[in-house]
Amino acid sequence: MPMTITEKILARHAGVDQALPGDLINVNVDMALANDITAPLAIKVFKEIGTHFVFDPEKIALIPDHFVPNKDIESAEQAKVMREFAIQHQIKYYYEIGQSGIEHVILPEKGLVIPGDLVIGADSHTCTYGALGAFSTGVGSTDLGVIMATGKTWLKVPQTIKLNYEGNLLPWVEGKDLILYTLHELGINGANYHALEFSGTVIKGLSMAQRFTMTNMAVEAGAKNGIIEPDEITLAYVAERSSRSPFVCTTDPDADYEKVINIEVGKIEPQVAFPHSPDNVRPLSQVGNITLDQVFIGSCTNGRLEDLRKAAMILNGRTVANGIRLIVIPGSQLIYGEAIKEGIIQTLINAGAVIGPPSCGPCLGGHLGVLAESERALSTTNRNFIGRMGHPKSEVYLASPVVAAASAILGRIGSPDEI
């Protein structure tokens, strides 16, 4: 029976010959993930189960990234719960803030996820790792607590929607623009409990950073997972970071998709998501005069070295507009260090940016850059729901790092072509 890449990975981890859409299967988990917000509840559930040992201390990653460095007593207590659990159970992949960063940036960076893996995280953007040809999805903390004890979970095999991108990208168009355009086409419920398989010659030409951006936002269409078949670019990335042997598989030519959507990228210009939904997207040329108070470049969507490098290219020799707060947060300590070596950080500082410690920062509206009432922000993050980055009467617009950098200079949402 022909299968998609998602179905093959699920079948392998369930120990069955085939996994078909709608099947309920029990799977073995290669990596279980939680952060400083979701881990404490998962640990509570783990303790309630009554077991005294995690299923494998080398298959759990606990990453403080949301409210760190601790912003208040409550966040400090949450981080303490996770830290003490990691020490007690000798969790190999627990990282303090000096070695850490955003969970969905550092797990690939440190080689903890490779093609063919099955990753379950107590965070909705765990779907990021599909860029590596892995099956990865988010669950609630209760489910993760059980996974930490058993190393297993159950899943319903999702149907797959294939997205085929062909043509030539216009100037300044990146992975962020492709996924925003796709979200506009699908809607936030257009892929509910489906696998989104990103394919086509355009995807094969994207860097890993841009692939991570696209799979990261698959969940914004309701998808169970996003995935890209591993190729030479994937394998080169993984070989530099992991000594494990990947399970490389591809979709069978005659595999059954629920539907195939062909997207001609030559008509896609830079995209901007308007409040208050990631699918409320307009082409940059139709944005109009939207003035800003804050620009944020970072997050698990666009906080990688390539993103900072492109933003610095736009900002080099220029300064942010009066009244604009430009916040830039590298996705990891390694990225921060490399950005210093390349002179990126100095360029950003010279332009008037403030650099934050590797963390989620303003993305979830709880730390480092919270918006006040009626303020507007342009952000490279993945969500712009009401109150996402602060006050419920603030506004968040989503765009790529190059559009964000240009907009910081202009003081309004605008194009790099205007600089």
Q: Do residue 178 and residue 308 come from a single domain?
A: no
Domain end (from 217, 238, 263): 263
Domain end (from 263, 282, 312): 263
- Rounded CA-CA distance 206/183 in Å is 18
Element (H, E) at 197: strand 194-199
pLDDT tens-place values along the chain, 419 residues long? 899 999 999 999 999 999 999 999 999 999 999 999 999 999 999 999 999 999 999 999 999 999 999 999 999 999 999 999 999 999 999 999 999 899 999 999 999 999 999 999 999 999 999 999 999 999 999 999 999 999 999 999 999 999 999 999 999 999 999 999 999 999 999 999 999 999 999 999 999 999 999 999 999 999 999 999 999 999 999 999 999 999 999 999 999 999 999 999 999 999 999 999 999 999 999 999 999 999 999 999 999 999 999 999 999 999 999 999 999 999 999 999 999 999 999 999 999 999 999 999 999 998 899 999 999 999 999 999 999 999 999 999 999 999 999 999 999 999 999 98
Q: Do residue 177 and residue 134 come from a single domain?
A: yes
Q: Do residue 39 and residue 114 come from a single domain?
A: yes
Instruction: Compute the CA torsion angle 247, 253, 254, 259 (nearest 10 deg).
Output: 90
- Rounded CA-CA distance 340/347 in Å is 9
Number of neighbouring beta carbons within 10 Å of residue 89: 18
Domain end (from 263, 285, 304): 263
Q: How many domains does the chain have?
A: 2
Q: Give the structural domain span for 315.
A: 272-418
Q: Do residue 54 and residue 162 come from a single domain?
A: yes
CATH at residue 98:
3.30.499.10
Q: Do residue 11 and residue 134 come from a single domain?
A: yes
Q: Do residue 245 and residue 366 come from a single domain?
A: no
Per the structure block, which two tokens stand in for 88?
């007690």
Asked whether the CA dihedral 68, 360, 319, 396 is positive or negative, the reply is: negative
Q: Do residue 238 and residue 369 come from a single domain?
A: no
Q: Do residue 23 and residue 56 come from a single domain?
A: yes
- Rounded CA-CA distance 372/354 in Å is 18
Q: Tell me, what's the pLDDT at 366?
A: 85
Q: Tell me, what's the pLDDT at 330?
A: 98
Q: Do residue 240 and residue 285 come from a single domain?
A: no
Q: Do residue 68 and residue 187 come from a single domain?
A: yes
Q: Do residue 40 and residue 118 come from a single domain?
A: yes
Cα 132 to Cα 80, 174, 229, 364, distances in angstroms: 32, 18, 8, 25
Q: Do residue 277 and residue 259 come from a single domain?
A: no
Q: Bridge partners of 60? A: 32
- Rounded CA-CA distance 151/9 in Å is 16
Tokens 């709608």 label which residue? 22
- Rounded CA-CA distance 351/297 in Å is 14
Which ranges of 240-343 does DSSP label H, i.e. alpha helix?
Answer: 299-302, 305-315, 333-341
